[in-house]
Structure 1
Amino acid sequence: MKILAVTSCPTGIAHTYMAAEALEQAAQEKGYKIKTETRGSVGVENELTAEEIAAADAIVLAIDTAVPMERFEGKKLVTVGVADALQKSSELIDQALKAPAYSTGRNTDNKEADLKTKQSTERKGPYKHLMNGVSFMIPFVVAGGIAIALSFLIGGYIGFQEEGTLAAYLMGIGGTGGFGLMIPILAGYIAYSIADRPGLAVGMIGGSVATQINAGFLGAIIAGFMAGYVVEAMKKYIKLPKNLQGIMPVLIIPVFGSLIVGLSFFYIIGGPAAAINTAMNDFLTGMEGSSAAVLGLIIGLMMAFDMGGPLNKAAYAFGTGTLVAGTGSAVMAAVMAAGMVPPIGLALATFVFKNKFTAAERESGKSALVLGISFITEGAIPFAAADPVRVIPSIMAGAGVTGALSMIFNATLSVPHGGIFVFFAVENLGMYLVSILVGSLVSAALVGFLKKPVETVQSLKAAQ
């Protein structure tokens, strides 16, 4: 059997490659040949060729973002999120071999198979569209945020105002460049996920309008979804003669779609969206004491619960939405700190409570530490998969404590990723480190307390 797979998570950092590894291992155990295309942060790797697709017996798509689908026309195919590929990779391969042939809708001979495949592909719906926008937005936010942080590092918090200086140029790259494009990119690629290429221009223009009226992150999301569904409706209901169909994607859709979305924002949607965005930012800025602690606690629990899954990515997207050019975010700081805790806490546990872990797990602890300090929460997944009942509550507790402490200490962060490599962009760094250390110790202690020694577990299994 020849199996093909495509994996793609919103950030393209860890889940993409872990899902690929899980599918490859499951296929090898079954004696099947497999090739996996990964669509990660460095781009498309190991891309599937037309010849390989034609020769494949089945295809598994473990994706949380939009990928080109037309190439799979007529092939047995199953579509799930990347988290499913980690948890049940063997079952997915079996399902793919029994799946109906995929149809893009051009061939309507098998309506039942088309319906089943469409339901499978769209199961994640709005979440997948949102995460597609977030995945394309993140590099702009990271590049912009680090450039802004370097501007502050070199020129201080007012140095960028002096024209012609390095600090001013860095602020131009980060603020006007990276952060200036953040909202249009988010809106554009949400629309792209919904309506494919014709939605991109309409979504980006809608996002630009959202920026002009200060509707921010919320406005970008509204503009992206509105643009996507407006373009879909135009594709469905506007029918031109065949000799004029070529002008649809280059004239009719971008012009009329942009006018519909843009004018809707200026006259109807923009005012309320901007008011909500401003109120939310004012509320977050003014949070302190117990209210800040509660928010940090919730953020921490979400970051640790599924370690890169929907709740984790929802908290991360919320954090990036609070970033503003030239201003650090307490919420983003809490998100990153809480996301670092699960793998760091588990790594500490493997060092301190060696009798509670196998030799392979102790070795994995070294990798988990590196991933944790780099803010890759997915480093905790192997431990959680092996013992979810004990591990997940432990890392949630530690991450929740860290999130709450980070907010209480009013630590702020001006970049959305990087772990220890961007600590120069943290305000109140000393207490920020304390919050991460305390949460990691809490998680490590709970794991050590709850887990049974390896010998005891092996004895119980042998007795059964």
Structure 2
Amino acid sequence: MSEMITPELVDLDLSADSKESAARALAERMVERGRVTDLDGFLADVAAREAQMPTGLEGGIGIPHCRSPHVTTPTLAFGRSPSGIDFGAPDGPADLIFLIAAPAGADDAHLSILSTLARRLMQPAFTAALRAAATPSEAAALIAGEPMATATAGAGAEAGAGSQAAARGLSPTPPLPELGHRPSPRSSNAGGAEKTASPAFEALGSGAEPRVGGPGAEPTVSGRGGVGESPAGQPFRVVAVTSCPTGIAHTYMAAEALQQAATEAGIDLRVETQGSAGFTRLAPEDIASADAVVFAHDVPVRDRARFAGKPTVDTGVKAGINRPAELLAEARDKAARGEVADHTPTPVERAGEEADGYGAKLRTWLMSGVSYMVPFVAAGGLLIALAFAIGGYEINTAPSVAEHFVWTESASWAALLFQTGGLAFGFLVPVLAGYIAYGMADRPGLVPGFVGGAVALTINAGFLGGLIAGLLAGGTVLAVQRLRIPTALRGIMPVVVLPLIGSAVTAFLMFLVVGKPVASLQQALTDWLSGLSGANAVILGVILGLMMCFDLGGPLNKVAYAFAIGGLATPNEGSLKVMAAVMAAGMVPPLAMALATTLRGRLFSKTERENGKAAWFLGASFISEGAIPFAAADPLRVIPASMAGGAVTGALSMAFECTLRAPHGGIFVIPLIGNPLLYLIAIAAGTATTAGLVVLLKGLRKQAEPAAPAGTEPSDRTKVTAAA
């Protein structure tokens, strides 16, 4: 660990006033030590990770971290802020800031050490000693777990009894164990390849945690009584899974917090940490004997089916860190009520903390359905588009290829493509409804959702009908899950009872209650799109262009895209114009960034110039995400400029009455576009608009910045301020 942090990487008087400037100050130390090769590129990766979830923790800790190709070796920098810096923690600013930099291909050993640090941050003794450290050497040795840290921890904690540590209510603490070693059965690293843990917990290298039965309990004690007991006199047993997007810090902090809470409550707990360095599976017998399950995660739980039929608490990893006792209490309550399924959104498309509003949850549920529908759209739409290119638009009247197919005729091959694509398109509405229900109620919602989507097709309720059917199916399953279920029925609930009741109720509602009004609304929308012309079409093009370029593949982008592909299910002149405008606008941001880096490369870092080369192809292929690295590094300049260009392109595409039958493909489906030359002009105009605005805004920023030494790269100018 000593090679990961040195005194030169410690700042005990960090003067930064924001998390961005704090990250920059600590990262500059990494650059000076040769640990980071591109300051701006690395900070962009840190900002992108921070955007996923704030890295502030209760107790005055900020732990920004990321994997980055700009990191040469695993590195840790530490800063202590006298005034505190807001990292989004619920209890206020952080005075202890750790910047963790992991290479893109960091090895398991280093990640295991970093995970041990993350767990120690949950120990008051460790943080108190850091607040009392008098010199950078003491702090570095304490973090590294070197021998001198032992004396420093003991002496420093006593000396600092009236300082910051005392201000937080922390008392002097005993010496700390060496970082990277296993001080007690409750510590672990993330262990390497996946395997099944044996009941006898391995001493080192395991990602599945030992059981915790209460204060002073042995790791495998299972007969302890007390407040954690189940009705049969055995301790209440819980298995948990923790994970975060990078799998470096929060994964292990949540595990430590849950274990400490379990110790205090006398609960028998085992945790599986699904971190970056791999994970060791919970033993099947531990899962089978568990009374409840806790998922504290922000990425999908791997092999979630192992936990089917158990009362489950499903929340974000930050909740596991900040309120572990509440989660364990909730698990106990659900077990007492006999709830056996997840009552929060599925881990694939979670809606976040339970405190999130229904608007945020609804958006996430809908995006879950859209994300699973898009592959069907891409495959079916491109097959249909190719069929039209080969056999002409009359190919839709060709007889079934099962009855008539001539190997040497292009018309037969075109008919095969068209009919195959049509079958793929036939799954759009059921898949949309099925995975909206899955996003709400997990696997038990799939069958009712698919059934509801099929009913929507049957009654011609179309895309809107699929949306409503998915919500009805998921809501029905959630409602049934809240009922008190006899113990004998719990095992068959997910595979028999919930699909049966959910399908019956959803079909009833779609056939007899909401189906016909929705079908009428769908027809009205189709007629409106068919009649779009003039100013109305241009305004719609502007709106769609703004949505496509606002979040570059995020929720608003997906809503606009879903609106367009929904129209392709019942194609007409208006819906084909919408599809053309949406694809054209989505191509603008990456193409514009590529053009801007080509014309004025000095305004961009070396990494951004390299990304600009790839953005040519990404933009031409209609992959809006190609502009995300630029937006993450400078959002207040790149995003507004992208939206302006997208609005111009969307408006021109509509004004030129361009049409598109393919849902994807970029310039590679130009032969399938109505008015292709004008379509390219619309894309070029939007690209030029965005590129010009980005160059102008970045140029103004450069004029306001202090001059850098001649011959330096933008990424080497370590004193340049962060993007405003």
Band the TM-score falls in, shorter-chain normalisation: 0.7 to 0.9
Deviations 1:91-133 (A, max 9, x none): xx9958844446695444999xx99954469893111111111
Instruction: Identify which of 680, 685, 688 aligns with 1:438.
Output: 685
Q: Which amino acid aligns with 1:372?
A: G
Specify the structure having the higher radius of gyration (Cα): 2
Match for residue 387 of structure 2?
151
Corresponding letter in the other structure for 2:454: S
Residue segments in structure 1 that go unaligned for 5+ positions in a row: 2-14, 36-45, 63-69, 81-92
Question: Quick one: distance in 2 between partners of 1:281 and 1:162?
Answer: 25
Letter in 2 for 1:213: I
* Deviation of the 1:424 alpha carbon: 3.6
Measure the CA separation in 2 of the matches of 1:205 and 1:273: 17
Tell me the distance in 2 between the aligned counterparts of 1:344 and 1:129. Answer: 31
Given the alignment, which residue of 343, 361, 371 partners 1:135? 371
Q: Distance in 2 between matches of 1:96 and 1:370?
A: 41
User: Are 1:78 and 1:117, in contact at CA under 8 Å, matched by a contact in 2?
Assistant: no
Q: Percent identity?
A: 43
**Would you say 1:222 and 2:463 are equivalent positions?**
no
The answer to whether the 8 A contact 1:50-1:71 is kept is no
- 1:388 and 1:451 map into 2 onto residues whose CA distance is 11
Residues 370, 558 of structure 2: 8 Å contact kept: no
Using CA pairs below 8 Å that are at least 6 residues apart, which structure has the higher relative contact order?
A: 1
Q: Aligned residue for 2:488?
A: 243
Gapped regions of structure 2 (runs ≥ 5): 2-47, 54-64, 76-98, 103-109, 113-191, 198-205, 210-239, 247-270, 274-292, 301-315, 337-342, 345-351, 405-411, 709-718
Distance 1:325 1:50 in 2: 50
Q: How does 1:187-226 map to 2 (within 5 A)?
A: 187-226=433-472
User: 2: distance between equivalents of 1:100 and 1:191?
Assistant: 28
Match of 2:208 among 36, 46, 54: 54
CA distance in 2, matches of 1:61, 1:121: 22
Alignment match of 2:511 (pick from 245, 254, 266):
266
C-alpha distance 364-110 of structure 1, shift in aligned 2 (>3 A): farther
**In the alignment, what sits opposite 1:375?**
622
Distance apart, 1:79 and its partner CA: 7.5
User: Using a 3 Å threshold, how does the CA distance of structure 1 residues 94 and 168 change in structure 2: closer, same or farther?
Assistant: closer
| Structure 1 segments (4+ residues) deviating >6 Å | 46-52, 120-123
Read off the aligned partner of 1:192 and give its amino acid letter: Y
Q: Is the 8 A contact 1:183 1:216 kept in 2?
A: yes
| Secondary structure at 2:244 match in 1 | strand
Matched, 1:181 2:459: no
CA contact (8 A) 2:296 2:318 kept: no
Whether the 8 Å CA contact 1:384–1:392 is kept in 2: the answer is yes
Show the counterpart of 1:347.
594
**Deviation string, structure 1 residues 227-268 (Cα, Å, up to 9, x no partner):** 0010111122262x4334444344433333222111211211
SS of residue paired to 2:663: coil
Instruction: Give 1:118-133 correspondences, 5 Å limit.
Output: 118-119=354-355, 124-133=360-369
More helix by share: 1
**What corresponds to 1:232 in structure 2?**
478
- Mark the CA change 1:57 to 1:265 in structure 2 (over 3 Å): closer, same or farther: closer
2:454 corresponds to 1:300: no
Contact 2:367–2:555 (CA under 8 A) maintained in structure 1: no
Q: Match for residue 80 of structure 2?
A: none
Aligned-pair Cα RMSD in Å: 3.8
**2:603 aligned to which of 353, 356, 369:** 356
Separation (CA, whole Å) in 2 of partners of 1:153 and 1:174: 13
Contact 1:79-1:121 at 8 Å conserved across structures: no
* 1:19 CA displacement: 7.1
TM-score normalised to structure 2 length: 0.52
Q: 1:30 aligns with which of 85, 91, 100?
A: 100
* Aligned amino acid, residue 444 of structure 2: P
CA contact (8 A) 2:541 2:581 kept: yes
Partner of 2:648: 401
- Measured in 2, the distance between the counterparts of 1:213 and 1:47 equals 50
Alignment of 1:293-332 (within 5 A): 293-324=538-569, 329-332=576-579
TM-score by length of 1: 0.78
Q: How many residues get paired?
A: 416
Rounded to whole Å, the distance in 1 between the matches of 2:498 and 2:526 is: 34
Q: In 1, are the aligned partners of 2:294 and 2:331 still within 8 Å (CA)?
A: no
Residue 61 of structure 1: how far off its partner (Å) = 4.7
Residue 334 of structure 1 and its aligned partner are, at CA, apart by: 1.1
Contact 1:183 1:220 in 2 (8 A): yes
- 2:683, 2:620 → 1: CA distance? 10
| Distance in 1 of aligned mates of 2:656 and 2:534 | 9
